Amino acid sequence: MIRTLDARTLGADAVAAALERSPEQVAPAIHAAVDEILAAVRARGDAALIDYTARFDRFAAASPAALAISPDDFSAAERAQTPETRAALAYAAERIERYHAAALSKSWRMTDEHGSVLGQEIRPLDRVGVYIPGGRAAYPSTVLMTAIPARVAGVREIVLVTPPGPDGSPDHSVLAAARIAGVTEGWRLGGAQAVAALAYGTGTIRRVDKIVGPGNIYVALAKQRVFGEVGIDMVAGPSEVIVIADAAADPEWAAADMLAQAEHDPMARAVLITDDDALIAATARALDRQLAALPRREIAAQALRDNGALIRVASLDDAVDLANRFAPEHLELLVRVPAALLPRVRHAGAVFMGRHTPEVVGDYVAGPNHVLPTGGTARFSSPLSTEDFVKRASVIEYSPAGLAAALPHLRTLTALEGLAAHGLAAEMRKEGAWGSSAAGPPCSKETR
């Protein structure tokens, strides 16, 4: 069912090649459909939203206002949750908020040897859109993971879009999570049409500055298309986990952690890398036993068969080096001393340390974000965070001495690039130049 690969004999290159995914081929018809939806919403606004919601979600909205999720809807959804659900959402929300508040970027200043002040100002985005999928599953945890960092960052308007059911009601657990997370506005919209509404705006819905959150292939393509009109977080692919384990690891735990990712999607990747032959054999048996009892066993079985592997390496150092080649979304260090391996980890979305840290705690309650780079993009990108909801502006305030020290270098560099006006703008400000102007230097209100 799941392949076994020996990196000691095959070599790391061959193992990596064996697990390479073929480039995902998106049918031309899907590309065309996304382009058509984006163009229609841009041209027809609310009318297009009503048409597509009736067509794809089977909800006939009588007017654009019927697409709105009212404050009473959010309140009713929250009241409808069991005490256990409310407690779990509140527990997760508190931990997510605490973590992201600690990671919040701050404005700063430094003063150089000439008294010139340099620094950075952090400003939150004004308005962001949070896309939450619907359909066969509900994702209240993703509401918390996307909306809470935005609120912590200082975003004033957080707009939820999520597909309705045929009766027009979005999932109640999603709305309850949105209420807890601080969402300020909601719309019964899904698919590429929801992305278009957030990116372009309509007569009823105002455009946002950035769109975050996962979705199906139509949502992913729409986010790619509207980037530049608005910001986006990332384009998420299938879920991934690599478990690095030593001889002391429990094979049942390793198998369970692999299946927790494999059940997501037939394209999900679940890989064990170890320096112990016995663990490979025991984990293969554990996978078979646990898989038989899973409600989503067909999905998980296909994921293990097509994208999974049990890999034997010569050492744990080799295991980390191989994992770096995949730059996985989730990396578990299921070993006796995980801190000894962590310095070697260069590429991973999130690292889970030790026996008592299953990846699932990161999905729901640990605090760090579960919106993570996939498909090897952890080589150059990071988890969703408060940094995704702020902008940075450089601040430069030169002193007379600082400008005097810079002038010789400015003369050289502006001449080198043939930009005479650049050089003149600096030369005019050299010491004593203010005296040539009858108006004198510019003054603040305090010095006038």
Q: Are the C-beta atoms of 351 and 331 separated by less than 8 Å?
A: yes
Which residues are the active-site residues?
329-330
The interaxial angle of helices 71-80 and 172-181, nearest 10 deg, is 110
**Beta sheet of 390-397, edge-to-edge order:** 108-111, 117-124, 390-397
Q: Residues 339-346: what's their mean pLDDT?
A: 98
- Local confidence band at 99 (pLDDT 50, 70, 90 cut-offs): very high
Residue 431, pLDDT score: 55
Query: pLDDT tens digits for 281-296?
Result: 999 999 999 999 999 9
Q: Give me the residue spans of the domains in the chain.
A: 28-105+124-232, 237-380, 398-431
Q: Among 46-55, 131-140, 215-224, 429-438, which is the least confidently predicted range?
A: 429-438
pLDDT confidence band for 439 (50 / 70 / 90): very low
Predicted pLDDT of residue 430:
79
Q: How confident is the model at residue 268 (pLDDT cuts 50, 70, 90)?
A: very high
Cα of 292 vs its chain's centroid, Å: 33
Please give the structure tokens belonging to residue 6. Answer: 């020996």
To the nearest whole percent, how much of the chain has pLDDT over 70?
96
Q: Contact, 307 vs 267, CB < 8 A?
A: yes
Residue 37's DSSP bridge partners are: none
pLDDT tier, 1 (very low <50, low <70, confident <90, very high otherwise): confident
The C-alpha atoms of residue 426 and residue 345 are separated, in whole angstroms, by 46
Q: Do the domains at 28-105+124-232 and 237-380 have one common CATH topology? A: yes
In terms of Cβ atoms closer than 10 Å to its own Cβ (0-12, 13-18, 19+), residue 352 is: buried
pLDDT band at 66 (very low <50, low <70, confident <90, very high): very high
Give the right CATH number for 28-105+124-232 from 3.40.50.300, 3.40.50.1980, 3.40.920.10, 3.30.830.10: 3.40.50.1980
Which CATH number is correct for 237-380, 3.30.460.80, 3.10.200.10, 3.40.50.1980, 3.90.1150.10? Answer: 3.40.50.1980
Please give the model's pTM, rounded to 2 decimal places.
0.92
Q: What is the pLDDT of residues 377-421, one digit of tens each?
A: 999 999 999 999 999 999 999 999 999 999 999 999 999 999 999
Can you tell me the distance from the alpha carbon of 121 to that of 441, in angstroms, rounded to the nearest whole number? 26
Percentage of the chain with pLDDT > 90? 92
Q: What is the mean pLDDT of residues 78-90?
A: 97
**Tokens standing for residue 448:** 């006038």
Q: Is the pLDDT of residue 438 over 60?
A: no
Query: By C-alpha distance, which of 239, 391, 243, 228 is closest to 313?
Result: 243
As given in the structure block, the two tokens for residue 181 are: 């997370």
414: tokens are 């502006």
Q: What mean pLDDT, rounded, does the chain reach?
A: 94
Long-range contact set of residues 166-173: C-beta below 8 Å, sequence gap at least 24: 166/57, 166/58, 166/59, 167/59, 168/59, 168/61, 168/66, 169/73, 170/69, 170/134, 171/134, 171/138, 171/140, 172/76, 172/77, 172/80, 172/81, 173/77, 173/81, 173/85, 173/89, 173/138, 173/140
- CA angle centred on 335, ends 304 and 270, rounded to 5°: 10
Q: Is residue 444 predicted with pLDDT exceeding 70?
A: no
Q: Give the neighbor-by-neighbor strand order of the sheet with 185-188.
A: 68-69, 185-188, 157-162, 127-131, 210-212, 231-232
d(CA 309, CA 284): 10
